[in-house]
């Protein structure tokens, strides 16, 4: 099995370095035409220049690939529209969107300004929603699209000092939970990456010896699969240090406690059964959970 992207066009946001650069280079090696998007700001989102994106374009061209640079902010409506227009003018289609751009503004919640919370949510959540919204009609008309969003272990499980980042990163997971359903009829598949990598974003959170083990190149193979023609949809792959796992939201089987005499005390008395995950169930859509609740409430009728 060989995964190729000949004739395909990919946009990678935040591709001027780190994970995005690695994804862009590998897509190009496998035949994709790549739009390298990067605002060029610092880790906290301040400043802007297009040199990083241009440098990655030159790397791709040196490999014999085809690429163009774009310096738009993923939070700016006009900038996103310009990125999509630039791509369509150059290549006439958009097959893949990798939402990778991000910033950090870490502080404990008690010390965090609402402005810093809002900015991180804007970049990670709305900076994923806006490019996706812009390419969706194009992919729908083509009858083909592959979208990847980037979550984090912080969003899945939490991390001190990152309430803003965690909220945004779980938000993109929820975003894909509905995209996977709405995209099915048009062959648009949406998936989630939870990377563990040593990049500019994480360099001061990890020891230097982690750099080689946690290189972005050890994450990118998961991305290539998740945006390939045979990709699944609605799947979250966790990747780092050559290790690959999958994360998903599951729900305990639950217990029917009655209706007429239902009290908080009954919930407390049965909390062990309520939180028993030995028969946990993953659902593809919310309606499946509703069905389970009716089944339990009616004794399986």
Catalytic residue numbers, as ranges: 165
Give which of 237, 234, 210, 212 is closest to 224, Cα–Cα.
237
CA distance 49 to 130: 21
Exposure letters 237-267 (e unless 16+ CB within 10 A, then b): bbbbeeeeeebeeeeeebeebeeeeeeeeee
CA distance 41 to 35: 18
CA distance 217 to 235: 20
Burial class (CB in 10 A: 0-12, 13-18, 19+), 158: exposed
DSSP state of 218: G
DSSP state of 36: E
Contact 257, 270 (CB under 8 A): yes
């Amino acid at each position: 099995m060989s995964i190729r992207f000949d004739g395909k066009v990919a946009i990678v946001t935040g591709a001027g370095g780190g994970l995005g650069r690695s994804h862009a280079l590998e897509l190009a090696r496998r035949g994709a035409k790549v739009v390298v998007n990067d605002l060029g700001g610092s880790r906290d989102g301040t400043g802007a220049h297009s040199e990083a994106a241009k440098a990655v374009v030159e790397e791709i061209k040196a490999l014999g690939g085809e690429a163009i640079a774009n310096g738009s902010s993923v939070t700016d409506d006009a900038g996103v529209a310009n990125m999509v227009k630039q791509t369509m003018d150059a290549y006439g289609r958009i097959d893949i969107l990798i939402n990778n751009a991000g910033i950090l503004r870490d502080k404990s919640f008690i010390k965090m300004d609402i402005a810093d919370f809002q900015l991180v949510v804007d970049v990670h959540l709305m900076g994923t929603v806006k490019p996706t919204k812009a390419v969706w009609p194009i992919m729908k008309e083509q009858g083909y699209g592959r979208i990847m969003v980037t979550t984090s272990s912080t969003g899945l499980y939490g991390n001190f000092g990152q309430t803003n980042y965690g909220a945004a990163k779980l938000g993109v997971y929820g975003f894909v939970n509905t995209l996977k359903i709405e995209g099915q009829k048009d062959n648009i598949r949406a998936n989630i990456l939870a990377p563990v990598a040593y990049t500019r974003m994480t360099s001061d959170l990890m020891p230097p010896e982690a750099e080689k083990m946690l290189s972005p190149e050890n994450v990118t193979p998961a991305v290539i699969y998740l945006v390939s023609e045979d990709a699944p949809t609605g799947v979250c792959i966790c990747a780092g240090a050559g290790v690959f796992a999958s994360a998903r939201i599951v729900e305990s089987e639950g217990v029917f406690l009655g209706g007429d005499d239902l009290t908080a005390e009954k919930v407390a008395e049965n909390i062990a059964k309520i939180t028993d995950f030995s028969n946990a169930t993953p659902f593809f859509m919310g309606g499946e959970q509703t069905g389970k609740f009716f089944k339990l409430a009616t004794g399986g009728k």
